Chain A
Amino acid sequence: MADSHQTTDASEPTRLKRGFFQTLELDTRLLGMIAAFLLIAIVFNILTGGRFLTPRNVFNLTIQTVSVAIMATGMVFVIVNRHIDLSVGALLGTVSAIMAMTQTNILPNMLGLELGSPLIAPIAIFVGLIAGVVIGSFHGWLIGYLTIPAFIVTLGGLFVWRNVAWHLTKGQTIGPLDGNFVSLGGIDGTLGETGSWILAVIAAAFILYLFFNARRKKVAHGFPVKPMWAEVLIAGIALVAIFGFVWTLNSYQVPVRRLARMFEARGEVMPEGYTEGYGVPFSVLLLIAVATVMTIIAQQTRLGRYIFATGGNPEAAMLSGINTRLLTVKIFAIVGFLCALSAVVASARQNFHSNDIGTLDELRVIAAAVIGGTALSGGIGTIYGAILGALIMQSLQSGMAMVGVDAPYQNIVVGIVLVFAVYIDIIYRKRTGD
Chain B
Amino acid sequence: MVDRSGIPLCELRDMQKAFGGIRAVDHVSMDLFPGEVVGVLGHNGAGKSVLMKMLSGAYERDGGQILINGEEADINNPREARKYNIETIYQTLALADNLDASSNLFLGRELVTGLGLVNDPKMEAETRKIMARLNPNFRRYSTPVAGLSGGQRQSVAIARAVYFNAKILIMDEPTAALGVEETAMVAELIHELKKQGIGIFLIDHDIHQVKNLCDRASVMKNGRLVGTVEVDKVTEDDILGMIILGKNPGEIAA
Please encode chain A, from 393 to 434, with 1 for each CB lying within 8 Å of some chain B CB and 0 for all others.
000000000000000000000000000000000000000011
- Residue B203, interface by CB 8 Å: no
- Residue A29, interface by CB 8 Å: no
Q: Which residue of A3, A218, A302, A309 is within 8 Å of B96 (Cβ)?
A: A309
Among A57-65, A159-167, A312-320, the one that faces the other chain is: A312-320
* Interchain CB contact under 8 A, A311 and B139: no
Q: Which residue of A lies closest to B103 (CB)?
A: A305
| Chain B residue total in the interface (Cβ 8 A) | 44
In the complex, what distance in Å separates the CA atom of A297 from the CA atom of B93?
Answer: 27
Min CB gap B198→A, angstroms: 20
A-B contact count (CB 8 A): 106
Q: Which residue of A lies closest to B179 (CB)?
A: A3
* Interchain CB contact under 8 A, B125 and A221: yes
Q: Which residues of A contact B97 (CB under 8 A)?
A: 312-313, 379
Q: A300-B117, A379-B96 are in contact. Are A6 and B107 (CB under 8 A)?
A: no
- Residue B252, interface by CB 8 Å: no
Q: Which residue of B lies closest to A222 (CB)?
A: B125
* Interchain CB contact under 8 A, B140 and A8: yes
Q: Which residues of A contact B118 (CB under 8 A)?
A: 300-302, 305
- Residue B147, interface by CB 8 Å: yes
Q: Which residue of B lies closest to A224 (CB)?
A: B142
Q: Which residues of A contact B110 (CB under 8 A)?
A: 302, 305
Q: Which residue of A310, A316, A379, A434 is within 8 Å of B94 (Cβ)?
A: A316
Q: A9-B139, A218-B121, A300-B118 are in contact. Are A309 and B103 (CB under 8 A)?
A: yes
Interface members, chain A 209-238 (any B CB < 8 Å): 217-218, 220-221, 223
Task: Identify whether the interface residues of B are mostly helix, strand, loop, or mixed.
Answer: loop
Among B21-29, B75-83, B215-223, the one that faces the other chain is: B75-83
- Number of contact residues on A: which range applies? 35 or more
Q: Which residue of A lies closest to B106 (CB)?
A: A305
In the complex, what distance in Å separates the CA atom of A8 from the CA atom of B151?
Answer: 13
Q: Which residues of A contact B122 (CB under 8 A)?
A: 221
- Residue B173, interface by CB 8 Å: no
Q: Which residues of A contact B57 (CB under 8 A)?
A: 321
- Residue B148, interface by CB 8 Å: yes
- Residue B95, interface by CB 8 Å: yes
Please encode chain B, from 44 to 87, with 1 for each CB lying within 8 Å of some chain A CB and 0 for all others.
00000000000011100000000000000000011100100000
In the complex, what distance in Å separates the CA atom of A237 from the CA atom of B146?
Answer: 32
Q: Which residues of B contact A317 (CB under 8 A)?
A: 96, 107-108
Q: Which residue of B96, B103, B124 is within 8 Å of A223 (Cβ)?
A: B124
Q: A302-B110, A379-B98 are in contact. Are A2 and B150 (CB under 8 A)?
A: yes
* Interchain CB contact under 8 A, A308 and B121: no
- Residue A322, interface by CB 8 Å: yes
* Interchain CB contact under 8 A, B139 and A313: no
Q: Which residues of A contact B150 (CB under 8 A)?
A: 2
- Residue B92, interface by CB 8 Å: yes
Please encode chain A, from 1 to 30, with 1 for each CB lying within 8 Å of some chain B CB and 0 for all others.
111111011001000000000000000000
* Interchain CB contact under 8 A, A308 and B98: yes
Q: Which residue of A217, A305, A321, A380 is within 8 Å of B121 (Cβ)?
A: A217
Q: Which residue of B lies closest to A5 (CB)?
A: B149
Please encode chain A, from 289 to 314, with 1 for each CB lying within 8 Å of some chain B CB and 0 for all others.
00000001000111001101111110
Please encode chain A, from 260 to 300, with 1 for each CB lying within 8 Å of some chain B CB and 0 for all others.
00000000000000000000000000000000000010001
Interface members, chain A 295-354 (any B CB < 8 Å): 296, 300-302, 305-306, 308-313, 315-322
* Interchain CB contact under 8 A, A320 and B121: no
In the complex, what distance in Å separates the CA atom of A338 from the CA atom of B108?
Answer: 26
* Interchain CB contact under 8 A, B96 and A321: no
Q: Which residue of B77, B90, B139, B149 is within 8 Å of A3 (Cβ)?
A: B149
Q: Which residues of B contact A379 (CB under 8 A)?
A: 96-98
* Interchain CB contact under 8 A, A5 and B152: yes
Q: Which residues of A contact B56 (CB under 8 A)?
A: 319
* Interchain CB contact under 8 A, B94 and A313: yes
* Interchain CB contact under 8 A, B140 and A296: no
- Residue B112, interface by CB 8 Å: yes
Which of A1, A3, A305, A379 is most buried by chain B, counting CB atoms within 10 A of its CB? A305
* Interchain CB contact under 8 A, A6 and B137: yes
Q: Which residues of A contact B179 (CB under 8 A)?
A: 3
Please encode chain B, from 137 to 167, with 1 for each CB lying within 8 Å of some chain A CB and 0 for all others.
1111000101111111000000000000000
Q: Which residue of A12, A218, A321, A380 is within 8 Å of B108 (Cβ)?
A: A321
In the complex, what distance in Å separates the CA atom of A160 from the CA atom of B90?
Answer: 43
Q: Which residue of A5, A218, A306 is within 8 Å of B148 (Cβ)?
A: A5
In the complex, what distance in Å separates the CA atom of A1 from the CA atom of B57?
Answer: 33
Q: Which residue of A5, A6, A318 is within 8 Å of B78 (Cβ)?
A: A318
* Interchain CB contact under 8 A, A296 and B117: yes
Q: A5-B148, A6-B137, A312-B99 are in contact. Are A319 and B117 (CB under 8 A)?
A: no
* Interchain CB contact under 8 A, A221 and B108: no
In the complex, what distance in Å separates the CA atom of A434 from the CA atom of B97?
Answer: 10
Q: Which residue of B lies closest to A315 (CB)?
A: B94
In the complex, what distance in Å separates the CA atom of A12 from the CA atom of B140?
Answer: 8
Please encode chain A, from 111 to 141, with 1 for each CB lying within 8 Å of some chain B CB and 0 for all others.
0000000000000000000000000000000
Min CB gap B181→A, angstroms: 11
Q: A217-B121, A321-B78 are in contact. Are A313 and B96 (CB under 8 A)?
A: yes
* Interchain CB contact under 8 A, A4 and B94: no
* Interchain CB contact under 8 A, A301 and B117: yes
* Interchain CB contact under 8 A, B94 and A320: yes
A contact residues vs B (CB 8 Å cutoff): 1-6, 8-9, 12, 217-218, 220-221, 223, 296, 300-302, 305-306, 308-313, 315-322, 379-380, 433-434
| Given pairs A315-B92, A320-B78, 6 additional interface contacts (CB within 8 A) | A217-B121, A296-B117, A300-B118, A316-B95, A321-B57, A434-B146
Ordered by A's residue number, 7 sampled pairs between the chains whose C-beta atoms are within 8 Å are A305-B107, A305-B110, A311-B98, A318-B78, A319-B58, A321-B109, A434-B144
